[in-house]
Every structure is written in C-alpha cells, then in structure tokens.
Chains A and B, each alone.
Chain A
Amino acid sequence: MITQIDVRDVLSRVGAAPMGDLVTRHTGRAVRSSIESELARLSGRTVVVLDFSAVRMIDFSCADEIVAQLVQASLSKAIPTDAFFLIRGLHDHMVEEVVEEVLRKRELAMVAETSTGLRLVGSVDEEARAAFSSLVGRGQAAPEDLAVDLHWSVDVTRTVLASLAGRRLVLHDAGLYRPLTAA
C-alpha cells in the first residue's frame, strides 16, 4: 500500500505558516505529531510518501523533527505502522543540503525522489548506493541477479540488500527486493 501525505496540508492543519515555510522545531514537532496520528490509523506495510511539493522551504530544525525523526521512529518501531518513508517534491538542493545533513547527523538514511530519479539520502556507504541504484534500474531483483549486475558475490549482494531492507530503504518479499516506488 502507498500512502501519500501532503506535508503542506499537514502544516496548514496544525495552524502554522500559511505560506508553506517549514521552519522551527516547534512547527516540525507539530507536523510530525500530526503525521504520526495519521499513520497510527493505518495497518500493514505501507510506503509513506511525504510530499513536499507545495512547501516553499525547509530549515534544518524542521527537517530533523519531521524527516529524520519519522525515519528513526519507523526503525525503532515507535510508529505502530510498518512504514517505509520516501520524500518527494523538495528542491534537489534542499535534499542535498538539508535532508542529507539531518539524516547523517543521526546516522540515518531514506529514499528521496529527485529530478534525477530515486536516490538514497543520508548515511549510506558506497556498496549500498550501488546496490540500490542497480535495483532501481531493474525494478525488482533477487540477490543472484543483482550480484551478476554488480560483479559481486551472491553472499555480499545478499548482505547488502538485507541491510537496505533492514533500514527500510527497499522492500523485501518472497526472495525479491524492490525499490519503494514499486510497492
């Protein structure tokens, strides 16, 4: 299942910033809390697309409160939903300069849809990036197939993919791995 959340709508609901500027920790906490309430009503595995298209700007404090802490909550099971987060609609430079930094500070990572396609953002090593990129190219793959593409051993490929799945950066079903948009 895919759940789309328009972050600008959430921002309006919490009564902050009618102009769509995601700034301050205070606002970030209110937005995150509202999103968590929304997610609590869902059940089963869900790809949660956080859509920032209508957001004008985001600062570090707000990005940390919303993006980084939602990812952290999903990993620590603090959110009851089996959520896989993906961000969409932010300017590429906001992804690179703001989201990347707040995720790295907490040693987290997530998937972002940018002008060049899906990419991993945050604290991720080169092997994980390569496997992710290859998987996005294929749409879905078993470790054996990706191992051929990457010229890696199957064991290494399996380990890297399992790590990506454990960090909720890809989906894993019946021996096949898929990027989040393919849910």
Chain B
Amino acid sequence: MSAVLEVPQRFDEHGFESFAQAYARAAEASKVIVDAHACEWISPLGFVALLAAGQALRDRLGAPPILTVPSDRDVTHFWARMGFFSQARELFEVHGTVPRVRGGESKVLLEVTPVRVAEDVHDVVHRIQERSAEILQHELGLDARATMGFGMALSEACQNIVEHAGTGGWVAVHTYAYKKRLGRRVAVIAVADAGVGFRHTLETSQARQYGERWGDLAALEAALLRNVSRFRDPGRGQGLAGIRRYVQRWNGKISIRSGTARIAIVPDWDEDQTNVEQLAPFPGAQVLMIIPAAEALDQR
C-alpha cells in the first residue's frame, strides 16, 4: 500500500498538525510520497519537521521516501537557498528540478543545519554569533545581552538532540515580520529530530511518580516546567529551564511537541494553547522558539 503525505500549502506551526495527521495515516504504508508540490510558504519548523519525517520514514521503510518539490520555482529556489535540499537528499528520493544555488546567497540567520554531535552545536552557535549578531541587533533591536542569550538558547535546544534524541536532527533560524499577530519582526528558531522523544527519555526516572498520568504531555511538563532530566545528577535539566527563562524575559514563545502532545509557554501576543494532548503521533521532538523584536525598535 502506498500513501501520499501532502505538505500543507502553508507549512508553519499551524500547518504542522495536518502534516502530522497525514504522517500518522501513512503508518502502514509500504511506499510513501511526500508531496510538496502545492506548498507555497514554509517556516523553519516546516523545514526541520519535513526532514524528521523523512528520516523516520526512511528508517521504517528501509528505503528513502519520495519527495516531490514545490511546483512554484520561486518556492523551490527558496528551499534550495535555505539549504533544505542538501539535507533532504540524504533522506528522500527527490523528484523535480532543484535549482543550483551558490553558497552565501542566503541572508537568513541560519539555514537548515544538521545537528548530530557536540561539534555541530559549536558550529551553529559560532555561525549565529558571527553572521547574525548584526541582524539580531539591528533588525530586531536585541541588545548584546539578548543576543548572547539567543546563542545560549540555541545551543541548549540543539544539545537536547545530541544528549537525548538518540539520533541526529536539524536546526533552522529565520527572521520575519509577524504583522498580524504582533506587528513586529521576530526571530524564529526551530529544532527537530526523529529520535526517541521526551516520554521515552524520561520514562525510567519519571513514569512511576506520575502513575496513570504518565504520557507525552506529562513528560513535556516535567522537562520544561520542572527542569527534570533523565540523569540523577542535580546539575542536569538546566538547558530547557534556561531557554524558558530567556524566552519569558524577552516576551517570546516556546512550544515543544513530542509524540502526541505539545506544551507551550504563550505570551500575551499569541493565542496558542498551553497544553495539547491526543495529537497525531509524530516521531521525535520539535522545538519552536519565537523571539520578538524589541518594542523600542518598532516605535522608532
């Protein structure tokens, strides 16, 4: 049996759930086509989630699933400039014309970048600090303190993959305008993997305490709100806590989806739900952070 996973026309945090539902419906399929021909807009979360799905499908099927590229040449060009196809080729059989792009064409904060080992985290942080400090400071009006915190949050989010996922993952960081929701520019960090997920990671240390309540949402609550780690060492579990403090300090948003649940810390400018359960199962974990531009910058 074959299945077609349609990539939403607009693949961002809102479009993610329809993609996850399609992914779940393809659970029994022996051949899968990920169809992106109708996709017109994709966020960093869309990019990294597509790759996570590709990895999980390839591992399950024992062969790469097919990915059809967007029909719109401009969209495909954007995907290429964002470094998506160079990662996707390792996971998908890519169907369609992929434009060639030169290195350095992108002006985004961070193209789609693989995270497998600690050195990759160094590379990600280095690139953000070197290339993007000016964008963060001038486009978003973040001061040196916020910019450094941005690097810290990025580092800790990527380390979650290295330390806990049991496999590699990807990160992408863009800036764009949130005109309707916020009326300001934002920096968006998306990190995803197709690994074991939060529930599995924390099961041994936490499941008994939670009893019947134990599940994907309980695991996310433990990690994000109670700083729980799978390690007994009291110094562990600080990464997500640090990210949470950073995001709250700058009136940003963090959302983590793992398995069938999602938890979010939602600022007043957003209307997302804080805890959601019984979602379509999706492999690994997906972390989304949104940091808004400083208010003073918008008033200028």
Contacts and interface: CB of A to CB of B under 8 A. Distances in A.
A60 interface: yes
Nearest to B119: A16
Contacts of B242: 59-60, 97-98, 101
A23 B234 contact: no
Contacts of A19: 126, 129-130
A3 interface: no
A26 interface: yes
Q: For the complex of A and B, list the 10 residue pairs with the smallest distance between their C-beta atoms, beginning with the closest.
A: A26-B118, A24-B118, A60-B238, A23-B155, A64-B235, A59-B155, A60-B242, A59-B152, A93-B145, A17-B122
By secondary structure, the A interface counts as: helix
A138 interface: no
Contacts of A58: 152
A21 B235 contact: no
B159 interface: yes
Interface residues of B, number: 29
A112 to B, nearest CB: 17
B148 A27 contact: no
A34 interface: no
Contacts of B125: 21, 23, 57, 59
10 contacts: A21-B151, A24-B162, A25-B163, A57-B152, A59-B152, A59-B156, A60-B152, A64-B235, A93-B148, A105-B238
B25 interface: no
A106 B148 contact: no
A94 B146 CA distance: 11
B122 A27 contact: yes
Contact of B129 (A16, A56, A61, A97): A56
A129 interface: no
Contacts of B149: 97
Nearest to A17: B122
Given A21-B129, A23-B122, A57 B151 contact: yes
Contacts of B245: 97, 101
B197 interface: no
Interface in B145-176: 145, 148-149, 151-152, 155-156, 159, 162-163
B152 A101 contact: no
